[in-house]
Structure 1
């Protein structure tokens, strides 16, 4: 944390995980916020940082050792992602390729797919995007229209489009969630997942003009008769809706970790500024009107961090899926709310300087705010909690 002014070591990490935090913070801190801002402003990619993270084993810290990973768990990856963000470099591709894709492939991919892809995901030489969101489906995955039409006994043609596909321009492949062409007995179209090379014929994408100031671009992705075979199918045909949560729960946990890191970065900047900034012979941080809002944000961030680590621990222990899903969802909600509040308050603490990119906060606002909407909206989290944790009637 910046200059060591903020004491946020309330988590009871093991010695090994404390060392992991410190080493990631040191590596990413050698790049720092200004590096991240410069890369983003130039429309470039943080390839040097990504390579260093891969070479150090941090991208695959949670993946099985037999496939080039570190043999750890989601807790370890969450630490990597949190510390990367706390150093001012919130790499969204960390959530997409190692967390979502890496976890999905570990849980459901064929042996050939694991051998082909996981080592590259672990060392950073291969990146995998994830395409599930559609303009007219949103959170309701049952309502997706991207369809895999049978093309012989062991092949399909994928037709449709996806929305907000992050980083596909920098990915070697994309995991596509598609429905079957024929409905089942309930009238629903079974969901499957396919691993599609991004240079596949018929696959194209166009950028979305996004307010997010991050290196990863956002795209609408089009599938125009993209041919895939059974070798590209992830897991079991028609079981994708159940299998996809092997990636969605880690996504929510690691997104929460990223939000927590952003919040920690913002609070550290604010605490330092409020300590150094003197008005009428008094540091502004001595005034409760400045200190109390920051203290409140600190409390909320610590609670979010605890819930995030709890959700990661449940995942690593193979706990009941319902409990793991609820914990992951609640962690994402808590972290999203805490991050948005922390960044906003940090900007306010800086006064006019908070709007200057020089201070590294104003361009974080939309990234922090995003976590109230994605990867699952705060309203859908509240729907889930009301129904599954409070036992209230389903509202949608």
Structure 2
């Protein structure tokens, strides 16, 4: 069995790297410091056609798979922009997948075309403050009224909410207590993010400051029926179409951050001379960095394995979750070692590794915690009794 990238996949990597090369450390440092969305980078990726890499060809997309998207996002994250670069375009790859699979032809044309062209941005409204990862316990409710729905509720960690024109919104249309199964009775919408009627409040956070996260407050907001994705009550099941690709992409983006941090550490170790010799000549520096490489490499191929399974219509839940778990830990380990290799300068913003270190924490937490992943594998793979 051959394990290598195809010619097309290598071309994707080369082409994306060429776009990313236009944006240097100073650019990403400024975006992070000013908490400013990387609009120029977003536009460059849109102009090059990369926002539609997984979108249908008839709408202007490339119609490629999660494997190609993963290669693209690994390249984006590894070229200096880290989470700030990856998260600015990440939603385009997995967020609208429910529309691709379950949307009507009219909805696909109306919603996906402007996303592909970079004319509109979307955000994801699923997580809630009192539900967390227990999505079946969300309280946002959409009440059926003539012509549509009246929606009230609250969402948390709505990324790009300050920039987005649209929101992928999950709401209950039937109370949980009245449903046969807790996963029933939720409906998915793709609605206008009207800030005159929806409050989007920015959350101050540790890293990835160029891409905002928000608390979102919705009070009696009307959404027309034409903005509902698929059938009423099946939103949670539609959402599942996006979960495995999201885990794969988050994982491989983490690998990109870890590899960038590792390369910066190796360069510093070659250049930094102490006691008459480069510090990289010392095994106390060499071995931790070499070990980080091995973990990053193995996690990368786990991501690619999961992507392959998904693109071939094979079960990949365990692999996608394991890929995200391994990648997040490997990236955090590499970024930590990069800071330590730089010594005092690793704590300074000049060498960028402190920014990558801050961003490497995010994949360990989101979009699903390590503990939930381990519980999933214990239950679904090892056939152990459910623990929660």
1:169 to 162, 183, 199: 162
Q: Which residue of 1 aligns with 2:382?
A: 390
Deviations 1:76-106 (A, max 9, x none): 1111111111001132435642122232221
- Alpha carbon RMSD of aligned pairs, Å? 1.7
Please tell me whether the aligned partners of residues 56 and 62 of structure 2 are also in contact (alpha carbons under 8 angstroms).
Answer: yes
Q: Is 1:115 matched with 2:109?
A: yes
Unpaired stretches in structure 1, ≥5 consecutive residues: 1-9
Count residues with an aligned counterpart: 383
Q: Which residue of 1 aligns with 2:151?
A: 158
CA distance in 2, matches of 1:144, 1:217: 22
1:352 to 334, 344, 347: 344
Please tell me whether the aligned partners of residues 96 and 130 of structure 1 are also in contact (alpha carbons under 8 angstroms).
Answer: no
Q: Which residue of 1 aligns with 2:189?
A: 194
CA distance in 2, matches of 1:186, 1:45: 43
1:372 to 364, 377, 387: 364
Q: Is 1:180 matched with 2:173?
A: yes
1:26 to 3, 9, 18: 18
2:253 to 254, 258, 262: 258
Q: Is 1:292 matched with 2:284?
A: no
Give the CA deviation at 1:243: 0.8
SS at match of 1:125: coil
Q: Which residue of 1 aligns with 2:304?
A: 309
CA distance in 2, matches of 1:185, 1:58: 41
Q: Is 1:139 matched with 2:137?
A: no
Q: Which residue of 2 aligns with 1:222?
A: 217
Q: Which runs of 4+ in 1 moved over 6 A?
A: none
Deviations 1:100-145 (A, max 9, x none): 2232221122212210121222222211100111111111111111
CA distance in 1, matches of 2:117, 2:237: 28
C-alpha spacing 1:161/1:296, structure 2 compared with 1 (3 Å) = same
Please tell me whether the aligned partners of residues 257 and 335 of structure 1 are also in contact (alpha carbons under 8 angstroms).
Answer: yes
CA distance in 1, matches of 2:181, 2:79: 49
Q: Which residue of 2 aligns with 1:3?
A: none
Q: Which residue of 2 aligns with 1:98?
A: 92
Please tell me whether the aligned partners of residues 35 and 211 of structure 2 are also in contact (alpha carbons under 8 angstroms).
Answer: no
- List aligned pairs for 1:247-286, cutoff 5 A: 247-286=242-281
CA distance in 2, matches of 1:125, 1:284: 49
Q: Which residue of 1 aligns with 2:81?
A: 89
Deviations 1:313-332 (A, max 9, x none): 1121121xxx3222111111
CA distance in 2, matches of 1:243, 1:318: 16
Please tell me whether the aligned partners of residues 102 and 121 of structure 1 are also in contact (alpha carbons under 8 angstroms).
Answer: no
Give the CA deviation at 1:206: 0.8
Give the CA deviation at 1:19: 1.5
Give the CA deviation at 1:181: 3.6
C-alpha spacing 1:166/1:185, structure 2 compared with 1 (3 Å) = closer
Q: Which residue of 2 aligns with 1:13?
A: 5
CA distance in 2, matches of 1:378, 1:250: 17
Please tell me whether the aligned partners of residues 21 and 83 of structure 1 are also in contact (alpha carbons under 8 angstroms).
Answer: yes
Which moves more between the two structures, 116-125 or 15-24?
Answer: 116-125
TM-score w.r.t. structure 2 length?
A: 0.95
Deviations 1:336-356 (A, max 9, x none): 111111100000000011011
Unpaired stretches in structure 2, ≥5 consecutive residues: none
TM-score w.r.t. structure 1 length?
A: 0.93
Please tell me whether the aligned partners of residues 326 and 385 of structure 1 are also in contact (alpha carbons under 8 angstroms).
Answer: yes
Which moves more between the two structures, 259-268 or 95-104?
Answer: 95-104
Q: Is 1:128 matched with 2:129?
A: no
